[in-house]
Amino acid sequence: MTNKDQYKVAQEPFYQAQGGEVALYEAAYRARLPVMVKGPTGCGKSRFVEYMAWKLDKPLITVACNEDMTASDLVGRYLLDANGTRWLDGPLTVAARIGAICYLDEIVEARQDTTVVIHPLTDHRRTLPLDKKGELLAAHPDFQLVISYNPGYQSLMKDLKQSTKQRFTAFDFDYPTADVEADILSKETGMDKAISAKLVKIGAVARNLKGHGLDEGISTRLLVYAATLINGGVAPRAACRMALVRPITDDADIRDTLDHAIDATFAQ
């Protein structure tokens, strides 16, 4: 039997609730309803799931999905060993066996045929057929499936199937309001409130440009990076250029505009 505790979240992660999402999640978990968290990158989706796992004191198994991922990467596969073949459970199967919260991060990155394997786990059946192994696994009563996705940047090709979407309850996440975000920055990094507010202002500039040359605005995560750099002694302007502007764009016009926004916000 796999050791459950290794998947437990040991320390309380910092999470700033923005609405009733914590209570709603708890309600969904009580009924073991599958949950989908949507929202732009770096706005705190994964942090939220981690926080909830800690709060509910349940193991959390996270899978970062990618395009090369196949169904067997989730479910499990036969491996070769000295005596022939040996079955190895995939993360989804492990979670269903031990009663963990299985978190499939950026689910749309995986191919659509891959995601179909989660269907039997997400309706009344709550089973996972392992056809290669010839086993029908009934999910542990504590098992819950959570997926996240970012509806913004994916192409039409990378949308979820309706049949997948309609198996989930969903939360819509967005970047927090300016005050809350500044608060998060200072709590997360111990940064002075005034500088946090300035960083948030620069973030807002980039978010205003979303869809006009930028696919995504500057995320809360990047703002945290910038704050961390400034805390480490880097000059604010340089830290912002490095953490906020260079990562998100190669477009010279946008870079120029954001650089100007930094200069305008952090006057010398």
Residues in contact with another protein by CB under 8 A are 68, 70, 72-73, 77-80, 84-85, 113, 132, 155, 201, 205-206, 208-209, 212-213, 253-254, 256-258, 260-261, 263-268
| Whole-Å CA distances, 56 to 27, 94, 267 | 11, 19, 46
Q: How far apart are CA 160 and CA 112, in angstroms?
A: 7
User: For residue 28, what are the CA distances in angstroms to 1, 16, 149, 170?
Assistant: 27, 20, 18, 10
> Closest CB to another protein among 28 and 75?
75
The total number of residues written for the chain in this structure: 268
CB-nearer residue toward another protein: 140 or 210: 210
Minimum Å gap between C-beta 54 and another protein is: 34
Nearest to another protein of 3, 268 (CB atom) = 268
Q: Which is nearer to another protein, 166 or 208 (CB)?
A: 208
- For the CB of residue 91, give the shortest distance to another protein in the complex, in Å: 16
- What is the distance between the alpha carbons of residues 127 and 120, in angstroms, rounded to a whole number? 6
DSSP bridge pairs for 37: 148, 171
Q: Which is nearer to another protein, 12 or 135 (CB)?
A: 135
* CB 169, min distance to another protein, A: 31
| H, E, C per residue of 16-51 | CCCCCHHHHHHHHHHCCCCEEEECCCCCCHHHHHHH
To another protein, the closest distance from the beta carbon of 85 in angstroms equals 7
Nearest-angstrom CA–CA distance, 138 and 98: 11
| CA-only gyration radius of the chain, Å | 21
- By C-beta, is 189 or 249 nearer to another protein? 249
Min dist CB 7 to another protein, Å, is 25
We find the least distance from the C-beta atom of residue 265 to another protein, in angstroms, to be: 6
For residues 89 and 1, what is the distance between their CA atoms, to the nearest angstrom? 11
Nearer to another protein among residue 9 and residue 75 (C-beta):
75
CA 210 vs CA 38, 201, 245: distances in Å: 17, 15, 13
Q: Strands, DSSP E only, in the chain?
A: 35-38, 60-64, 76-81, 84-89, 101-105, 127-130, 135-138, 144-149, 169-172
Smallest distance, Å, CB 166 to another protein? 24
